């Protein structure tokens, strides 16, 4: 089959000034496209040009970097408008069997629906209204655009929370959930866990890494002071977090590795006792999916949408955690690791492709 994947925002940018990455090969959407290719499909990824990497890359599938227009209104970091998308779909209509669009709340998804509704599946992540301008644009979009202009368009949510939200506005929301996946050929699991925790995150305010440092300090007081905390990532708060670690007297226990690519990051993640997450604002977190895939349990707040299945399948601890929860994840580590290994096959991008194809078949039969 010929599949067009419309995913304008390839990775998260916290500000309007998108910093071009060196590569997109560490992104979730790249691995999903790769999985479609492995299953024998012809894939085209249509993404926003501001996310085009700094370095020239070769891909095993076609990538189109759509130019964006009216950037002061449709800001590329959060709501890009790729003005040539409709023209591309019309021109290649006979050669496209399926269009997978990211998000209901997207001008690009709307254009794809208006151009060729019968071929569109919307893969939806958001589980609540966007807070911009007191939620007014979001409420208008879902109540008017989604209800009427996206009527009878197949929508597949990425979490139970997203499904509960979007089915209020899109009546053809599928009962099946298709979560984010990972390439299990790349994410090799390990049961050989070392005496450290790991953080894989941007070092920014909403991630509350300072809280992780403080809780880790309290954990050391009750655990015998042997563990380490490895922090992988970069951001505006790096200097202040390094200063905090020195203030806690933990500069030898808290190790800042900076930003690493997947090849460099995976050994640290695979051998950790747990991935630590303390975010106060997030949707589904790909770092959590990656952690489970390598057999590393997760200790997180209940904010990420992944928290529901972490609780359900005991893949870690999802609560307003503290040092006692770190003690529990260490003491019962083998149990949590085994649960992650049982669950990891469900995270395979290849299984996500099968889910999409099953959804497409049902859509054609109805």
Query: Higher-confidence residue: 165 or 151?
Result: 165
CA distance 346 to 354: 11
Domain assignment of residue 331, yes or no:
yes
Q: Which residues of 201-217 are buried (b: 16+ CB within 10 A; e: fewer)?
A: bbbbeebbbbbbbbbbb
201: left (phi over 0), alpha (psi -120 to 50) or beta: beta
Concatenated DSSP letters of 167-187: TTT-TTB-S------B-TTTS
Residues 26, 171 share a domain: yes
Residues 98, 78 share a domain: yes
What is the rounded average pLDDT for all residues in the chain?
96
pLDDT digits (tens, 9 = 90+) for 46-66: 999 999 999 999 999 999 999
Q: Is 26 helix (H, G, I), strand (E, B) or coil?
A: coil
* Per-residue confidence band for 31, with pLDDT thresholds at 50, 70 and 90: very high
Of 188, 198, 193, the closest CA to residue 344 belongs to: 188
pLDDT digits (tens, 9 = 90+) for 328-361: 999 999 999 999 999 999 999 999 999 999 999 9
Question: Mean of the pLDDT values across residues 117-121?
Answer: 97
Domain assignment of residue 80, yes or no:
yes
* Cβ pair 345, 351 in contact under 8 A: yes
Domain count, the chain: 2
Q: Which two tokens stand for residue 330?
A: 């260490």
Domain assignment of residue 304, yes or no:
yes
| Residue 172: per-residue pLDDT | 96
pLDDT digits (tens, 9 = 90+) for 144-163: 999 999 989 999 999 999 99
Counted residue by residue, the chain has a size of 366
pLDDT digits (tens, 9 = 90+) for 202-215: 999 999 999 999 99
| Residue 250: per-residue pLDDT | 96
Residues 204, 129 share a domain: no
Q: What share of the chain is helix, strand, coil (3-state, %, to 5)?
A: 40, 15, 40
Of 286, 38, 314, 310, the closest CA to residue 185 belongs to: 38
φ, ψ for residue 262, nearest 5 deg: -60, -40
Question: Mean of the pLDDT values across residues 278-286?
Answer: 93
| Residue 365: per-residue pLDDT | 87
Domain assignment of residue 81, yes or no:
yes
Residues 256, 359 share a domain: no
Of 120, 51, 109, the closest CA to residue 81 belongs to: 109
pTM for this model (two decimals): 0.92
Residues 90, 236 share a domain: no
CA distance 112 to 119: 9
| Residue 65: per-residue pLDDT | 98
| Residue 224: per-residue pLDDT | 85
| Residue 131: per-residue pLDDT | 86
Consecutive H or E run containing 124: strand 120-124
| Residue 351: per-residue pLDDT | 96
Residues 232, 116 share a domain: no
| Residue 341: per-residue pLDDT | 97
Cα angle value 226/229/233 (rounded, 5°): 165
Q: Which residues of 296-328 are buried (b: 16+ CB within 10 A; e: fewer)?
A: bbbbbbebbbbbebbeeebbbbbeebebebbee
Domain assignment of residue 187, yes or no:
no
Q: How far, rounded to the nearest angstrom, does the alpha carbon of residue 94 sit from its chain's CA centroid? A: 32
Residues 255, 212 share a domain: yes
| Residue 265: per-residue pLDDT | 95
Q: Which two tokens stand for residue 175?
A: 């009962």
Domain assignment of residue 188, yes or no:
no
Domain assignment of residue 215, yes or no:
yes
Give just the sign of the alpha carbon dihedral 287, 289, 291, 293.
negative
* Per-residue confidence band for 133, with pLDDT thresholds at 50, 70 and 90: confident
Residues 283, 177 share a domain: no
Q: How far, rounded to the nearest angstrom, does the alpha carbon of residue 318 sit from its chain's CA centroid? A: 17
pLDDT > 90: what percent of the chain? 95
Residues 336, 354 share a domain: no
pLDDT at 192 over 90: yes
Domain assignment of residue 106, yes or no:
yes
Residues 275, 134 share a domain: no
φ, ψ for residue 182, nearest 5 deg: -135, 160
CATH at residue 223: 3.40.50.2000
Residues 145, 240 share a domain: no
pLDDT at 190 over 90: yes
Residues 259, 166 share a domain: no
| Residue 225: per-residue pLDDT | 77
Domain of residue 282, residue span: 196-347
């Amino acid at each position: 089959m010929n599949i067009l994947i419309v995913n304008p925002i390839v990775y998260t940018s916290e500000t309007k000034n998108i910093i071009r990455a060196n590569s997109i090969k560490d992104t979730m959407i790249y691995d999903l496209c790769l999985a479609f290719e492995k299953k024998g499909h012809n894939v085209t990824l249509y993404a926003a040009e501001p996310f085009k990497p700094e370095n020239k890359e070769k891909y095993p599938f076609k990538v189109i970097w759509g130019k964006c227009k009216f950037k002061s209104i449709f800001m590329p970091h959060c709501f890009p408008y790729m003005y040539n998308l409709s023209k591309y779909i019309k021109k290649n209509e006979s050669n496209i069997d399926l269009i997978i669009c990211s998000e209901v709340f997207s001008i690009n998804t709307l254009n794809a629906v208006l151009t060729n509704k019968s071929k569109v599946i919307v893969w939806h992540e958001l589980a609540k209204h966007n807070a911009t301008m007191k939620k007014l644009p979001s409420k208008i979009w879902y109540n008017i655009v989604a209800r009427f202009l996206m009527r009878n368009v197949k929508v597949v949510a990425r979490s139970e929370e997203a499904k509960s939200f979007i089915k209020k506005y899109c009546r053809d929301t599928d009962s099946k959930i298709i979560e984010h996946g990972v390439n299990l050929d790349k994410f090799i699991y390990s049961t050989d866990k070392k005496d450290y925790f790991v953080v894989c995150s941007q070092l920014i305010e909403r991630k509350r890494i300072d809280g992780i440092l403080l809780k880790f300090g309290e954990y050391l007081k009750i655990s015998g002071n042997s563990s380490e905390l490895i922090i992988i990532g970069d951001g505006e708060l790096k200097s202040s977090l390094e200063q905090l670690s020195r203030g806690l007297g933990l500069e030898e226990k808290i190790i800042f590795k900076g930003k690493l690519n997947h090849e460099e990051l995976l050994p640290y993640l695979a051998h950790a006792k747990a991935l630590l997450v303390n975010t106060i604002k997030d949707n589904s977190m790909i770092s959590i999916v990656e952690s489970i895939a390598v057999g590393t349990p997760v200790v997180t707040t209940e904010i990420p949408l992944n928290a529901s299945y972490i609780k359900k399948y005991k893949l870690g601890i999802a609560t307003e955690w503290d040092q006692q929860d770190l003690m529990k994840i260490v003491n019962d580590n083998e149990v949590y690791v085994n649960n992650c290994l049982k669950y990891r096959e469900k995270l395979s991008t290849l299984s996500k492709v099968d889910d999409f194809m099953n959804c497409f078949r049902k859509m054609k039969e109805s």
